[in-house]
């Protein structure tokens, strides 16, 4: 039932619209996937943006974009929400299954899984990173079994290679795979130092780390993906332009959830009488550093460590059954866990998946990008005026993906939210216009911009309204269009305002 509720929370129309409309990224992923399907090849450049027309495009999410585009072909934009719901519910289902395997009892499991869902909701948007969540869960499930010697060394090594190879095609977070496997390898090395019988197993685990590293290079761009991706992650300016890459707001709900998670981790680490295993200690430490730096990693922290934390909290309760009331809590928690063991909602998930797919196939227009977020009316206005296609547009980077999908190839955008592709120099220049700095109009002149499509409520809107060099040509509550006052081609295309 938990998975069913989680599924419905992703795919019912209001939530589905929110999942695809947070910003222009989802639309950009969909546009690029559709473009690859149309052309039958991977993209070497990003063709919809005139600012960087010839720059090599390293698409580290190409396979996920194609899968999203295929879902949209069948179900329309609702297909994106269906994929997102499937990935999120499957990930939580596997996390719950891992809890059962590690012997976690019911009450700690419920507390931990609900907090995991809360952290997951901070970034539960219909984007390629959701594939990474599922693959990360599968990888850790594999290595928790390997740690208990339920999986032989060669099998674990090659399974790691296959999972990482798949992961690197759908999302750049696959670079975490060697880190995850490395935690278990280091723990095995420590065991091998005290037990020579473990040395051969340590060699297998070391080979698995190397295979995971090798798999990250087996992508369409090889080492160039790493050369492109890692400097971007280390660039504080570009990271600051994306909310999800900022550190958690420690005074807000996300920060409180992360701090609560760390508190549970502390109890799990130091509460039980039995010493914690080194692999999970290293894993919690490593991913916590990433989560403290970027709230994008908070869901990964929860997804990877939730089963172990729940199991350790259960052990903590078992160790304190002599405390008043704890024995009764532990007994009920154990009994409920035994009743639930083996059931994790797969049947409900399959029934809801089929029902939702049938519904959206018959009502493909029931979910679409939110017209209160994206400039749908303005796009329709632009499409009715082909003269604009012969002139250079400037647009909000948050709308870049949506505009590319709606207007390409007749129009090219000036900017989108692909900061890693645009680069710091151009992003700094763009942000001076975006924030309506004193240099804004000069930059528009230098770039040869002929018309501007931007948020009606923005500071740039007010600056252009006050400028004699620009006149507003169209306005609605979401977006406005300005053209140069002296542009002879603009005669007859502007609305009476």
Q: What is the CATH number of the domain that holds 389?
A: 3.40.190
What integer pLDDT is reported at residue 15 of this predicted model?
Answer: 66
Give the Cα separation of 496 and 470 in Å (integer): 15
- In a shared domain, residues 329 and 387: no
Q: In what order do the strands lie in the sheet with 393-395?
A: 393-395, 451-455, 479-484, 470-475
- In a shared domain, residues 385 and 258: no
DSSP output for 12-61: SHHHHHHHH-SSSHHHHHHHHHHHHHHHTS--SB-TTBTTSSSSB---TT
What integer pLDDT is reported at residue 350 of this predicted model?
Answer: 55
Query: Do the domain assignments include residue 368?
Result: no
pLDDT-derived band at 54 (thresholds 50, 70, 90) equals confident
Tokens of 133: 């969540």
What integer pLDDT is reported at residue 363 of this predicted model?
Answer: 53
Query: Do the domain assignments include residue 369?
Result: no
- In a shared domain, residues 18 and 77: yes
- In a shared domain, residues 270 and 341: yes
Query: Is the model more confident about 287 or about 332?
Result: 287
pLDDT-derived band at 348 (thresholds 50, 70, 90) equals low
What integer pLDDT is reported at residue 491 of this predicted model?
Answer: 79
- In a shared domain, residues 346 and 411: no
- In a shared domain, residues 399 and 324: no
161-183: average pLDDT: 97
pLDDT-derived band at 483 (thresholds 50, 70, 90) equals very high
Q: Which domain holds residue 203?
A: 2-351
266-280: average pLDDT: 94
Q: Which of 351, 386, 413 is the last residue of a domain?
A: 351
- In a shared domain, residues 209 and 284: yes
Closest CA to 135 of 180, 80, 85: 180
CB 204 within 8 A of CB 198: no
Name residues whose C-beta falls within 8 Å of residue 358's C-beta, 6 or more positions apart in sequence. Answer: none
Query: Do the domain assignments include residue 364?
Result: no
Global confidence as pTM: 0.91
Give the number of domains in the chain. Answer: 2
Query: Do the domain assignments include residue 457?
Result: yes
Query: Do the domain assignments include residue 359?
Result: no
Instruction: Check whether 411 has a pLDDT greater than 90.
Output: yes
- In a shared domain, residues 255 and 126: yes
pLDDT, one tens digit per residue, over 327-338 is 777 787 777 667
pLDDT, one tens digit per residue, over 213-241 is 999 999 999 999 999 988 888 888 888 88
pLDDT, one tens digit per residue, over 80-111 is 888 888 888 889 888 988 998 898 888 888 89
- In a shared domain, residues 96 and 177: yes
Name residues whose C-beta falls within 8 Å of residue 158's C-beta, 6 or more positions apart in sequence. Answer: 211
What integer pLDDT is reported at residue 216 of this predicted model?
Answer: 97
Q: What angle do CA 267, 290, 308 make, to 5 degrees?
A: 35
Give the Cα separation of 334 and 106 in Å (integer): 6
449-478: average pLDDT: 94
Query: Do the domain assignments include residue 189?
Result: yes
Query: Do the domain assignments include residue 192?
Result: yes
Element (H, E) at 79: helix 78-101
- In a shared domain, residues 329 and 386: no
- In a shared domain, residues 7 and 66: yes
Query: Do the domain assignments include residue 79?
Result: yes
Give the Cα separation of 381 and 480 in Å (integer): 10
Give the Cα separation of 486 and 445 in Å (integer): 13
Instruction: Check whether 365 has a pLDDT greater than 80.
Output: no
CB 276 within 8 A of CB 325: no
Q: What angle do CA 65, 69, 74 make, to 5 degrees?
A: 155
pLDDT, one tens digit per residue, over 117-163 is 889 887 888 899 999 999 999 999 999 999 998 999 999 999 999 99
- In a shared domain, residues 347 and 430: no
């Amino acid at each position: 039932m938990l998975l069913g509720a989680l599924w419905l929370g992703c795919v019912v129309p209001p939530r589905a619209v929110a999942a695809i409309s947070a910003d222009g990224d989802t639309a950009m992923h969909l546009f690029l996937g559709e473009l690859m399907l149309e052309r039958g090849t991977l993209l070497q450049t990003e063709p919809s943006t005139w600012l960087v027309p010839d720059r090599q495009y390293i698409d580290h999410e190409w396979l996920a974009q194609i899968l999203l585009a295929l879902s949209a072909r069948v179900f329309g934009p609702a297909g994106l929400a269906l994929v997102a719901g499937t990935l999120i519910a499957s990930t939580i289902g596997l996390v719950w299954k891992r809890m059962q395997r590690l012997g976690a009892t019911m009450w700690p499991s419920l507390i931990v899984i609900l907090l995991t869902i809360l952290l997951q909701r901070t970034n539960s948007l219909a984007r390629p990173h959701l594939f990474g969540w599922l693959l990360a869960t599968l990888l850790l499930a594999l290595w928790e079994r390997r740690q208990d010697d339920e999986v032989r060394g060669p099998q674990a090594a090659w399974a790691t290679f296959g999972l990482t190879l798949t992961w690197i095609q759908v999302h750049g977070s696959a670079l975490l795979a060697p880190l995850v496997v490395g935690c278990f390898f280091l723990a095995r090395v420590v065991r091998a130092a005290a037990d020579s019988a473990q040395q051969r197993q340590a060699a297998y685990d070391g080979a698995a780390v190397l295979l995971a590293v090798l798999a990250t290079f087996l992508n369409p761009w090889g080492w160039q993906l790493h050369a492109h991706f890692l400097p971007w992650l280390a660039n504080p300016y570009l990271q600051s332009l994306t909310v999800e890459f900022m550190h958690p707001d420690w005074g807000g709900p996300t920060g409180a959830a992360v701090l609560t998670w760390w508190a549970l981790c502390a109890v799990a680490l130091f509460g039980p009488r039995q010493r914690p295993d080194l692999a999970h200690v290293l894993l919690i430490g490593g991913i916590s550093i990433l989560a403290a730096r970027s709230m994008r990693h908070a869901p990964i922290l929860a997804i990877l460590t939730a089963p172990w934390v729940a199991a350790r909290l259960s052990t903590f309760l078992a160790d304190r059954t002599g405390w008043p009331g704890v024995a009764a809590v532990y007994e009920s928690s154990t009994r409920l866990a035994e009743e639930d063991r083996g059931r994790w909602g797969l049947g409900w998930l399959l029934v809801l998946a089929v029902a939702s797919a049938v519904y959206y196939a018959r009502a493909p227009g029931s979910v679409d990008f939110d017209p209160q977020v994206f400039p749908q009316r303005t796009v329709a206005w632009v499409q009715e005026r082909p003269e604009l296609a012969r002139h250079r547009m400037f647009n909000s980077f948050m709308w870049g993906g949506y505009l590319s999908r709606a207007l390409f190839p007749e129009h090219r955008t000036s900017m989108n939210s692909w900061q890693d592709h645009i680069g710091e120099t151009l992003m700094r220049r763009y942000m001076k216009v975006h924030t309506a700095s004193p240099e804004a109009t000069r930059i528009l002149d230098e770039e040869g911009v002929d018309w501007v499509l931007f948020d009606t409520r923005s500071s740039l809107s007010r600056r252009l309204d006050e400028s004699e060099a620009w006149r507003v040509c169209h306005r609605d509550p979401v977006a406005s269009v300005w053209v140069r006052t002296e542009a002879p081609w603009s005669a007859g295309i502007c609305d009476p305002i």
